[in-house]
Amino acid sequence: MYETTRTTKALALAILLAPAISLAAESSSSTISQSNTSVSAAALAKTASLGAVKGDDYKDPDLWGRIRSGYAIPDVDNNLVAKHVQWYSSRPEYLARTSGRASLYLYHVVQELEKRGMPTELALLPVIESAFNPQALSTADASGLWQFVPGTGKDFNLKQNMFKDERRGVLASTDAALTYLQRLYTMFGDWQLALAAYNWGEGNVQKAIQKNRAAGKPTDFESLAELMPAETRNYVPKLQAVKNIIANPGQYGVILPVIDNQPYFTTVDKTSDIDLAVAAQLAEMSIDEFKALNPQFKKPVITGESTKILLPKENAEKFHLNLAQWGHALSSWTTHKITGAKETIASLASKFGTTPDVIRQANNIPPQMRLKAGSTILVPKTSTSTASDIAESIIENASIALEADRGSSKGRKLTGAQRIKATVAELKNRVTGGSKPSARVNGRKHR
């Protein structure tokens, strides 16, 4: 259980700050292979030697200081590092926005790193990956603070269904990212190579090592850099640049906002379906504040018996108090499966006492698109609807399939431009599964 004494003002500030442009560029793909997970005794010894610092024993009131104390990755010092230090230090607004978002999540990340005996500068990696924006989405559909693509997310048990995407969830994605980094460190026995593999893929790093070995050349990061794509070649220097600035902000004319060295949020168990808006209301938070800590939820209803939500401590206390006094239904949504072409969005809206726009918005259905038979959609509960929660089998297996609506309810044909727009929307829906990102970052992530 995580606790905090911080007020929600910092949270509100982080939400109001405009999303920053991610620094991610391009990377290559790699499939996680069990054959590549041979354990290096030397690597394990290095990891163990780092030692975990107990958060309760560390008294620095500033979380930045706690991070500095755990630096353990050998430094890189080259022209690329100097270039990226200049880039970051000359953009104080960017650092302020990123730090504002990081203030919600950074304590948890540092705590988890220390539990595993990992270098604490790895807590700065989301600066490079997503600018600490959990809604960040790359052009290759890499998502969340740690930028997992769907396939790698599944490899690390990050659930991705119609109702939630755990690649965006703070707890699940951090656990997956640190587990992945540990695996890579065990594989290569070197944190710089582990980072390169996190960005480029372990298979590509292994091939580069083999090529240099065959040529009698060294196999450290800087010796392999010329074989790497530009993004990976810059990846470790970018982290080093951020690390340098955090280590000595005054040297670079940077003023870091204070981030308290104490937990920001606590976990709250949810035992039944609850509307996202109701959960925020019970916690006495705005929708945006609530979503900042719970970005994995994709629909207006939070489903699943074992689901946890994150809230600042004082808001968690308000949540429990208000929930005990709540005299209304917690959820106003259920699901409906489309049986045939006769079930249009307009007819569904009439059947469930709502409007077409509400159904489209709740299910991310673009204009000029219609539902195919077999699709499962979210609809408002009616007096005849079941009062029970959405079944786990539906949560895990529900999907939406769309096709272009070739004409309106009045039989009017779509124009050529409308047909093209609808076709593009249909293709996009097939790729994204109907999810609608709120932020997009540059670059391709294929790990």
Q: Which residues pair with 378 in a beta bridge?
A: 335
CA distance 173 to 164: 13
CA distance 192 to 198: 10
Q: Which residue among the candidates 129, 166, 289, 343 is catalytic per the annotation?
A: 129
In this structure, what token pair is assigned to residue 109?
A: 């990340």
CB 8 within 8 A of CB 264: no
In this structure, what token pair is assigned to residue 328?
A: 């209304």
CA angle, 171 then 291 then 267, to 5°? 40
CA distance 299 to 90: 39
Whole-angstrom CA distances from 265 to 1, 6, 108, 170 are 9, 9, 9, 11
CB 437 within 8 A of CB 137: yes
HSE-up (13 A, CA, CB side) for residue 366: 25
Angle between helices 41-50 and 170-188 (to 10 degrees): 130
In this structure, what token pair is assigned to residue 184?
A: 């890579």
Of 261, 255, 280, 289, nearest in space to 6 by CA = 261
Instruction: Identify whether 396 is a catalytic site residue.
Output: no
CA distance 192 to 73: 7
CA distance 282 to 318: 7
CB 435 within 8 A of CB 17: no
CA distance 111 to 53: 9
CA distance 25 to 56: 38
Helix (H, G, I), strand (E, B), or coil: what is residue 297?
strand
CA distance 231 to 228: 8
Indicate which residues carry an active-site annotation: 129
